[in-house]
């Protein structure tokens, strides 16, 4: 059956890497119908919404969505750039990436990690970050409410005063954690990983840590063939650099997972190489980890590899695993050969040149 693939190139180098990498779909000759949609900064400036209504409709009809990158600026900059007809209408800028994650309930952010560039032992693992709650649940405020003062007995609070303090709350729910951990174990099974590691801080965050631990072990009991391990997040950060081959799937709450996954992008060889997926029940979108890179946009310096690998993840999601393997293999080959690399990897090639080399490696592995 024909699959519908919606491409939202977005801003800056997002557009450039989409244009460079998408020809791979023609080469692979798959039953996929590609459609383009609009998203990003320009639409905020024109319409007061970075995701136009027509795009939401396209998203609802698609089997998978590919996002290039989006420029998100601070609230004030966003308001200042609205066209005069939209100003003063009380419009609030909400990051389109957040809108997508919230509206489609994309609770898991998946980042496959393997050593593409650089020295060291080959390895392959994946980081699954919770995307909807944890420390990014939105309970973040300046000033401590009077009603919490009995509970917050920290001595510094008395020294500063309740109005000279700020709090962020880490929200962990049974609902959120069960679906996350189930997804992590299913992903491990489907991708040949024999271990799932929960990266948290149970020895310091005793209550929420114990809560997560109990739920994690409860879910793990249903997956007999997969080892469940609970580690302190700082130790996981160290091991990701020193012995990443010991990991299979690493699962973490929102903030901790955010940090670990950028660390992992560094281990892979940089932002230009890191793909990601945002997964919900029956919904998904795929994007390179990098942003719109205004510092290099328009100069032909953007590394297209992350976009190729991201397209591979989307293809795998739509059931085209063999095609995804061909893309992964081609990127690996070009990066290892080291002849056609963009400046971020120490080369002097343009986005187009590196993309052409990868496309060639897809046709002739």
Which segment (75-83, 148-156, 233-241, 258-266) binds Mg ion by CB under 5 A? 258-266
Determine, following the binding rule CB under 6 A, whether residue 109 of this chain makes contact with ligand NAI: no
Q: Using DSSP bridges, classify how beta strands 275-279 and 108-114 pair: parallel, antiparallel or unpaired.
A: antiparallel
Cα separation of 354 and 231, whole Å? 39
**Dihedral sign for Cα atoms in the order 34, 73, 139, 87:** negative
Determine, following the binding rule CB under 6 A, whether residue 335 of this chain makes contact with ligand NAI: no
Name the residue with the smallest CB distance to ligand NAI. Answer: 291
Cα separation of 283 and 304, whole Å? 25
Q: Which is nearer to Mg ion, 266 or 343 (CB)?
A: 266
Q: Cβ of 247: how many Cβ atoms within 10 Å?
A: 24
Which segment (69-77, 173-181, 254-262, 351-359) binds Mg ion by CB under 5 A? 254-262
Q: Which is nearer to ligand NAI, 13 or 330 (CB)?
A: 13
Q: Which is nearer to Mg ion, 274 or 357 (CB)?
A: 274
Q: Which is nearer to ligand NAI, 248 or 272 (CB)?
A: 272
Nearest distance in Å: CB 259, Mg ion: 8
Cα separation of 171 and 131, whole Å? 12
Q: Using DSSP bridges, classify how beta strands 3-10 and 64-69 pair: parallel, antiparallel or unpaired.
A: parallel
> 97: closest CA among 44, 168, 154, 32?
44
> 134: closest CA among 35, 36, 260?
260
Q: Which is nearer to ligand NAI, 100 or 231 (CB)?
A: 100
Determine, following the binding rule CB under 6 A, whether residue 306 of this chain makes contact with ligand NAI: yes
- Which residues within the stretch 79-108 sit at the binding site for ligand NAI (CB under 6 A)? 97
- Which residues within the stretch 3-62 sit at the binding site for ligand NAI (CB under 6 A)? 13
Which segment (85-93, 167-175, 184-192, 294-302) binds ligand NAI by CB under 6 A? 294-302
The residue within the footprint of ligand NAI, chosen from 331, 344, 353, 354 (CB under 6 A), is 344
How many residues in total does the chain contain? 365
- Which residues within the stretch 274-293 sit at the binding site for ligand NAI (CB under 6 A)? 287, 290-293
Q: Which two tokens stand for residue 147?
A: 């009603």
Determine, following the binding rule CB under 6 A, whether residue 272 of this chain makes contact with ligand NAI: yes
Q: Which is nearer to ligand NAI, 71 or 349 (CB)?
A: 71
Query: Could you say which of ligand NAI, Mg ion, none residue 328 binds, taking C-beta under 5 to 8 angstroms by partner kind?
Result: none
Q: Using DSSP bridges, classify how beta strands 166-168 and 140-142 pair: parallel, antiparallel or unpaired.
A: antiparallel
Q: Which is nearer to Mg ion, 265 or 311 (CB)?
A: 265
Q: Could you tell me the maximum CA-CA distance found in the chain, to the nearest angstrom?
A: 68
Count of chain residues binding ligand NAI (CB under 6 A) = 22
Q: How far is CA 6 from the centre of its chain?
A: 18
The residue within the footprint of ligand NAI, chosen from 296, 313, 315, 354 (CB under 6 A), is 296
Determine, following the binding rule CB under 6 A, whether residue 72 of this chain makes contact with ligand NAI: yes
Query: Could you say which of Mg ion, ligand NAI, none residue 49 binds, taking C-beta under 5 to 8 angstroms by partner kind?
Result: none
* Binding region for ligand NAI (CB under 6 A): 13, 69-73, 97, 271-272, 287, 290-296, 302-303, 306, 342, 344
Give the residues lining the site for Mg ion (CB under 5 A). 258
């Amino acid at each position: 059956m024909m699959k519908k693939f919606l491409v939202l190139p977005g801003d800056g180098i997002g557009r450039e890497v989409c244009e460079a990498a998408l020809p791979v779909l023609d080469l692979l000759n798959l039953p996929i119908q590609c459609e383009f949609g609009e998203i990003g900064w320009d639409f905020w400036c024109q319409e007061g919404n970075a995701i136009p209504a027509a795009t939401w409709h396209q998203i609802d009809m698609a089997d998978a969505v590919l996002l290039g990158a989006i420029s998100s600026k601070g609230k004030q900059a966003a308001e200042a750039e609205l066209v005069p007809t939209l100003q003063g209408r009380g419009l609030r800028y909400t990051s389109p990436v957040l809108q997508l994650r919230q509206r489609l309930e994309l609770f898991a952010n998946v980042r496959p990690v393997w050593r593409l560039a650089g020295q060291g032992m080959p390895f392959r693992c994946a980081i699954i970050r919770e995307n909807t709650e944890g420390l990014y649940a939105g309970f973040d405020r300046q000033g401590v409410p009077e009603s919490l003062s009995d509970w917050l007995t920290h001595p510094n609070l008395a020294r500063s005063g309740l109005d000279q303090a700020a709090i962020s709350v880490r929200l962990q729910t049974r609902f959120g954690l069960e679906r996350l951990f189930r997804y992590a174990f299913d992903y491990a099974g489907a991708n040949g990983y024999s271990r799932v590691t929960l990266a948290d801080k149970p020895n310091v965050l005793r209550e929420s840590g114990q809560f997560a631990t109990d739920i994690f072990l409860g879910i793990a009991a249903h997956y007999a063939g997969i080892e469940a391990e609970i580690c302190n997040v700082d130790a996981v950060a160290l091991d990701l650099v020193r012995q990443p081959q010991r990991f299979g799937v690493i699962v973490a709450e929102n903030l901790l997972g955010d940090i670990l996954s950028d660390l992992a992008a560094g281990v892979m060889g940089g932002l230009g190489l890191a793909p990601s997926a945002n997964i919900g029940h029956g919904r998904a979108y795929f994007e390179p980890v990098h942003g719109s890179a205004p510092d290099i946009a328009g100069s032909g310096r953007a590394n297209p590899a992350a976009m190729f690998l991201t397209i591979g993840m989307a293809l795998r999601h739509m059931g085209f695993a063999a095609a995804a393997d061909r893309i992964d293999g081609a990127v690996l080959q070009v990066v290892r050969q080291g002849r056609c690399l963009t400046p971020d990897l120490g080369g002097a090639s343009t986005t187009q040149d590196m993309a052409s080399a990868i496309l060639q490696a897809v046709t002739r592995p």
